[in-house]
Amino acid sequence: MSIQLEHAHCLIIGSGPAGYTAAIYASRAALKPVLYQGIQPGGQLTITTEVENYPGYAEGIQGPEMMVDFEKQAVRMGADIRFGLVSSVDFSARPFKVVIDEEKEMTADAVIIATGASAKWLGLESEQRLNGFGVSACAVCDGFFFRGKEVAIVGAGDTACEEAIYLSKLASKVHMIVRKGEDGMKASKVMQDRVKATPNIKIYWNSETLEVSGDNKVTGAKIKNNLTGAVEEVPLSGFFVAIGHQPNSDLFKKWLTMDEAGYIITQPGTSKTNVEGVFAAGDVQDKIYRQAVTAAGSGCMAALDAERFLSGLGHI
């Protein structure tokens, strides 16, 4: 099969809040951006139900609907939004080479990477079935909906401890499920101490979740103690998974500098990567905040950085 060729001044890879915001700003800067949506158009927000913490939506909005709004605005500004999956890149020289769906090759003067990150899950059928219906991978995003109710959180790192403490301020009780014993907990000593000192957090050591209960919403979880073999059914309204995120960055490992977890490293205060003309925005380079609003903000930064870069080359 012959490979089709096409050139773009600015190519955006990814379509969550970061990618769409980059497309809006790049369009307004006359960069004529081409955006490829990837395998999950709209990103993680398309598997989120109610979003109440994004400015401008006074009554809240469904995650998928919000991403449709973002896409419509980008198209109205002039962005060329396309369905397709980037299968390989070559950042060795400009113009950069990008192959889509293994059959179409594009070249680009600037590339904005906004491929996001994927939450790690336990692998339970019930967990996926109830995702968005009481199961969540973001306490900051969804904890508000469980004010005064009992919830569980799975994890043993600093993030899990931080989210457990966050949830403890909203929920009546937090059941924290830790796979290993106290000596195997990954979190720093100070975070462990804070969790243990929080009266409405109950820790289940050496335990794992067998199943999240419920038909159309979470009603509980079956927790097994791996030392005794005892199984306990705990009534719950919410079930949070905090075992980490995986940045969707494998495609770029040959070219870009990343940290040990695979997050793309950008120059402080910018979206610039180690390759001049390649920029990163959103969760693929943010392991701290991971919020829609911060992703959108970094998408704006990436478009502005790309505009300045292309202007310096005389392309605009």
Would you please indicate which residues are annotated as catalytic (active-site) residues?
138, 141-142
CB count in 10 Å sphere of residue 92: 10
Instruction: Sort 216 into a burial class: Cβ within 10 Å, 0-12 / 13-18 / 19+.
Output: exposed
Q: How far apart are CA 98 and CA 162, in angstroms?
A: 39
Q: How far apart are CA 277 and CA 111, in angstroms?
A: 6
